[in-house]
Amino acid sequence: MNFLSLILVVTVLQFLNAYNVRCDEKSSTIRPVEISMEVNIRGNNLTMSYKIEPLPNSYTHLGEGPHWDVETQSLYYVDIEAAKILRYDYQENKVYHSQVEGIELAAFIVPVEGQKNKFVVGAGRSVVVVTWDGVSETSKVDRVLFDVQQDEQFKVNRFNDGKADPRGRLFAGTMRYIGDEFKDRWGELYKYEKGGKVSVVKSDVGISNGLAWNEKLKKFYYIDTTDYEVKEYDYDFENGVASNPKVVFDLRKPNPKDNLLPDGLTIDSDGNLYVATFNGHTIYKVNPSNGKVLLEIKFPCKHITSSAWGGPNLDILFVTTSAKFEGDAPAGTTYKITGLGAKGLPMAKVQL
């Protein structure tokens, strides 16, 4: 039987240590919960079991932008409205939190190629270069890399998701964060290239979100949350140009109020997409060639913001969530998922 035609049946067998997760926002202490699930793939005699576990002390009010750094074996991510950057040290099994001085928002964090302890961070309508040793409770802005949308109209805009493409170009987009971003599509997607050139990739954006690339197929994937879909573009890796958009995954519902909100995005080494849903408790594993859902990964909190592959073998899926609009634990927990039977590719750093 062709794999694309397999029927996936997900059975929750048991919840281990099934007590409530409590999160104290001041201490950011999370009591561990393990969730064990068995996934049965009918017609191929395959059984896969995966486990979802919280990272210790990983709470964020609005977690986003996970980036796995192979060199340091660390997961970097942000707490947007707290202007914090975080690092999960895989060897220590410990999360470090740092307040970035002088900024009010921290939308994403990406390490800088060839510069130890240097990162680009989305800060309001600016992208800044930050120095952080990965341990200290405070970190400093070195300089502003570039600004966007400086007109008075856009003072309610901010950067949202951002990543480097496999050639080290930074792609990052904006959104209206005060007001109605579904009505006022004031966001744009930008590209920063080594040497300082900044250009607009796409305008008429509501909430600029997930980004992923497939170098083998020469594709770029992009999510504008307010479109309720994932778009695929042909991508010229030598010149960093995206063209010919088409929808490969549609999350619209017959009743608009039931629409799922696609958020962050990652890709595995087989080219499958992992689409986080901000209001859906779920990450969808999707085959972009036909839009089929291969797996639904369920979480005990509602707002799933993004994910990234990491670990020594790049086979652990790290997942950020948000407590904003939900509040109670385990919302805001950062998770790791093992046993998915898939792996990712090394994430690129930004070239300045």
Ligand-binding site membership of 44 (annotated): no
Ligand-binding site membership of 69 (annotated): no
- Cβ neighbour number for residue 104 with a 10 Å cutoff: 12
Ligand-binding site membership of 259 (annotated): no
Ligand-binding site membership of 157 (annotated): no
Which candidate in 263, 268, 315, 328 is catalytic?
A: 263
Q: What residues pair up with 16 in beta bridges, in sequence order?
A: 34
- Cβ neighbour number for residue 279 with a 10 Å cutoff: 15
Query: 183 Cβ partners below 8 Å, 6+ apart?
Result: none
In 206-315, the DSSP E strands lie at 208-214, 219-224, 229-236, 241-250, 262-267, 273-277, 282-287, 292-298, 304-310
Ligand-binding site membership of 227 (annotated): no
Yes or no: say if 264 and 271 are a contact pair by the CB < 8 Å rule.
Answer: no
Supply the DSSP symbol for 346: P
If phi over 0 gives left and psi between -120 and 50 gives alpha, with beta otherwise, what is residue 58? alpha
Three-state secondary structure call for residue 154: helix
Q: How far is CA 80 from CA 87, 125, 183, 352, in A?
A: 14, 13, 22, 23
d(CA 220, CA 198): 18
d(CA 262, CA 278): 6
Amino acid at 341: G
Q: Please confirm, yes or no, whether 89 is among the known catalytic residues.
A: no
d(CA 115, CA 109): 14
Catalytic residues: 263
- Binding site for a divalent metal cation, by residue number, is 64, 209, 263
- Binding site, by residue number, is 64, 158, 160, 209, 263
